[in-house]
Structure 1
């Protein structure tokens, strides 16, 4: 029995076919080969076309089929992971009304701040566990205020994964986890927030049917099945935002367990069983994939927008001719502290951990007679690791104190230097795993379809491939100098 996972990322779409019996990946593929574009019509804006995601998903699956090694008729369930917080709008005929306003878009910050004050900070934090900030609810309010003709045509609002499931099945559903990441969900009443609906003037009919994350979200339509070379009627049994899904794929499901990733954005994601929140909403709490009103499992999320996106920019700007592996090897030639070169990695929109300020990316203390590409590559990795430390200190002040952090050996964690720097910056060991978002989505589908009795069974074969522990390399002094630069920019 096989499972199909689809991971809708900001940079690309990846799909994997997994054998449910062994939990082994039979085939996987990604599309496109180069990072997908983000449309920035104005400073601080970020949009992508949902139709682009759907096209990329089809092409990635086509590539996966071409690799062979499996019979697509044996696929029993489909799972979807997706970039969080994006707003997708469709009319009554399921036509997309505008490009998606995605996770790193900053246009709605002021709208969210006004809602935070008007609804009441204490109410928002205790009921929503967040400020409305620039999350999905505020983005929808921006459309209502600035694009009334489009808003008037909306039949349903969705997150990116809901849209892909709609394209597969023709049905529109969502989940508590998805609604919470959009800051639509009231954790005290266990329903859509009446205060958010009332303040912004939304009609509750805009929201899809709410299903559990692990459940049927529709079955594959005949016309789509033929196009995708899949059998008709395969159920979509799992949908999750990429960070809860990453945590699931690392078997991070219980209070005190913590996952990290350093892809386009950088994230530390810890699980709690209390309705916790940061007073300044610098870190954010959402319903985890295994959340239930009777057994609360919350994901506490620190997000840094400009991690992998900065490393990609540096590669394109300073690393012409280098592969990422070569950049990582070159970075190791520079000394600790990059001989004074400092980098603030905040050039990809407003940063929630910095109170939604747009600090921008900065390279400080460049010496034209001293610094080489090696220094630049290392300084960027040290700057990203320092930003993780800055956010992790906020998490610690809110009661998150893990003894180990689990991460997939991918993206920046492919760099031994970055991994060790991250560990030295946070002071917490990291367990590395061969995990993958699309594989996690596939196994999530197995849970939703009842093929596995529990998440623990679905990930019973997961084993750490490496443990990285802190060393005494004096990174604290580097961090304190970095923090002084950040404080200066924030003042």
Structure 2
């Protein structure tokens, strides 16, 4: 018996097969091989095509089946993880009306700020746990204001994962967790936020049916099953944003547990049993996958837009023929502190932890006689690690004080140098696991379909493969403080 997990990322689609009996990955594949581009029609804008996502999902599943390592007919449930905060809008025929405005798009920042002021800071934070910011509700409000012809044709608004589930099943549903990441959930009143809907003038009928996150969100259509070689009628039994799902995949389910990832964006995500919030909304709180009216488990999320995206940019421009493994070795060859070269990796839209300011990515203090590829790539890794530390200190201000952080051995954590730098700069040990979002989505499907009796049962064979402890924290502290002073001067100038 198998489970299928689909991870709709910004760069590509990853799909995995997990065997129920062992809880282990059988195989995982990625499609396409090249990173999916982000359309940026104006500075600060970021869009992708939902129809292209769907084509890529289908190709990924077919590629998975072609491995011959499992019987596709033995897949019993499907789970979906997806890039958070994106907006997908469809008409009554379930046709996409425009490209998705994705997570790192900044166009609705001012709309969100105005909503924050009008609804009131205290009321917004107590009920929404966030400012409306440039999240999904504000993106929809931007469409309403700037593209009224499109807005008037909308039948349903969705998060990206809701869209993929719709294509698989024909049903349009959402969850409390998804609504909370769109800043559409009122935590105090345990209902869809009337304040946000009323302020933006959004009809509640545009919001899909709300279902439990772990539940059947629809059943695989006969024609789609035939096209993908699967069994018709199996449930899509789990949908979650990528960061709550990453936490699930790392067995971060209980208050006090913390996960991290360093993919296209960088995230630290901690579980709390309080309706906590940052007064400046620099870190954000959403409903965790285990949230319920009885157990109000929330996920406190620090997001840095410019992590893997910064590393990818540097690769394409400074070493396009090199592999990431080769770049990681180059970085490891340079000394701590990169001979004084410093990097602000904030070139992928407005950063929430910087109060939605946009500094652009910067390489600072270049010495033409001493700096080379090696120091550039180490400085980028260090700049990303410093960004994590800066955000983690904000989380500490808000009561999230992790004793250990769990991360998947993937993306930037594949670099031993980056992983150790992260540990040294934050002074927090890291446990590394073999996991990815598609595996977590598959296990989530098993929970939602009742194949596992609980989330805990799905992780009885979950073990760390490596533990990293701080080694060079004292050496890094003054270097970090210099970096922080540069950043804060830049923020003042903005």
Q: Does 1:453 align with 2:453?
A: yes
Deviation at 1:320, TM superposition (A): 2.3
Q: Take 2:102 and 2:204, find their aligned partners in 1: how far apart are those partners?
A: 22
Deviation at 1:472, TM superposition (A): 3.1
Deviation at 1:31, TM superposition (A): 0.3
Q: Take 1:137 and 1:309, find their aligned partners in 2: how far apart are those partners?
A: 25
Q: Does 1:241 align with 2:241?
A: yes
Q: Take 2:189 and 2:208, find their aligned partners in 1: how far apart are those partners?
A: 18
Deviation at 1:441, TM superposition (A): 0.2
1:407-437, Cα deviation, whole Å (9 max, x unpaired): 0010000011111110111111000000110
Q: Take 1:484 and 1:150, find their aligned partners in 2: how far apart are those partners?
A: 45
Q: Take 1:126 and 1:359, find their aligned partners in 2: how far apart are those partners?
A: 30
Where in structure 1 do 4 or more consecutive aligned residues deviate above 3 Å? Answer: none
Q: Take 2:312 and 2:25, find their aligned partners in 1: how far apart are those partners?
A: 27
What does residue range 66-81 of structure 1 map to in structure 2 within 5 Å?
66-81=66-81
Match of 1:483 in 2: 484
Q: Take 2:277 and 2:26, find their aligned partners in 1: how far apart are those partners?
A: 40
What does residue range 60-99 of structure 1 map to in structure 2 within 5 Å?
60-99=60-99
Match of 1:10 in 2: 10
What does residue range 311-326 of structure 1 map to in structure 2 within 5 Å?
311-326=311-326
Deviation at 1:467, TM superposition (A): 0.7
What does residue range 24-173 of structure 1 map to in structure 2 within 5 Å?
24-173=24-173
Q: Take 2:201 and 2:174, find their aligned partners in 1: how far apart are those partners?
A: 21
Match of 2:374 in 1: 374
1:359-418, Cα deviation, whole Å (9 max, x unpaired): 110000001111010000000000000000000000000000111000001000001111
Match of 1:327 in 2: 327
Q: Does 1:426 align with 2:400?
A: no
Q: Take 1:349 and 1:169, find their aligned partners in 2: how far apart are those partners?
A: 34
Q: Secondary structure at the match of 2:326?
A: helix
Q: Secondary structure at the match of 1:346?
A: coil
1:164-223, Cα deviation, whole Å (9 max, x unpaired): 000000000000000000000000111100110110000010000000110000000011
1:52-104, Cα deviation, whole Å (9 max, x unpaired): 11011011111100001211111100000000000000000000000000000
Q: Does 1:291 align with 2:291?
A: yes
Q: Take 1:477 and 1:410, find their aligned partners in 2: how far apart are those partners?
A: 29
Match of 2:271 in 1: 271
Deviation at 1:24, TM superposition (A): 1.5
Deviation at 1:350, TM superposition (A): 0.3
Q: Take 1:24 and 1:302, find their aligned partners in 2: how far apart are those partners?
A: 29
Deviation at 1:142, TM superposition (A): 0.2
- Unaligned 5+ segments in structure 1 are none
Q: Take 2:300 and 2:280, find their aligned partners in 1: how far apart are those partners?
A: 14
Deviation at 1:231, TM superposition (A): 1.0
Deviation at 1:471, TM superposition (A): 1.1
CA contact (8 A) 1:27 1:68 kept: no
Match of 2:310 in 1: 310
What does residue range 431-446 of structure 1 map to in structure 2 within 5 Å?
431-446=431-446
Q: Does 1:255 align with 2:259?
A: no
Q: Could you tell me the TM-score, scaled by structure 1's length?
A: 0.99
Q: Take 2:157 and 2:416, find their aligned partners in 1: how far apart are those partners?
A: 42
Q: Take 2:331 and 2:264, find their aligned partners in 1: how far apart are those partners?
A: 19
Q: Take 2:288 and 2:403, find their aligned partners in 1: how far apart are those partners?
A: 20
Q: Count residues in correspondence.
A: 491
Q: Secondary structure at the match of 2:400?
A: coil
1:453-489, Cα deviation, whole Å (9 max, x unpaired): 1111101111001110011351001101110110111
What does residue range 408-419 of structure 1 map to in structure 2 within 5 Å?
408-419=408-419
Pairwise CA RMSD: 0.6
CA contact (8 A) 1:424 1:475 kept: yes
Q: Secondary structure at the match of 2:361?
A: strand
- Unaligned 5+ segments in structure 2 are none
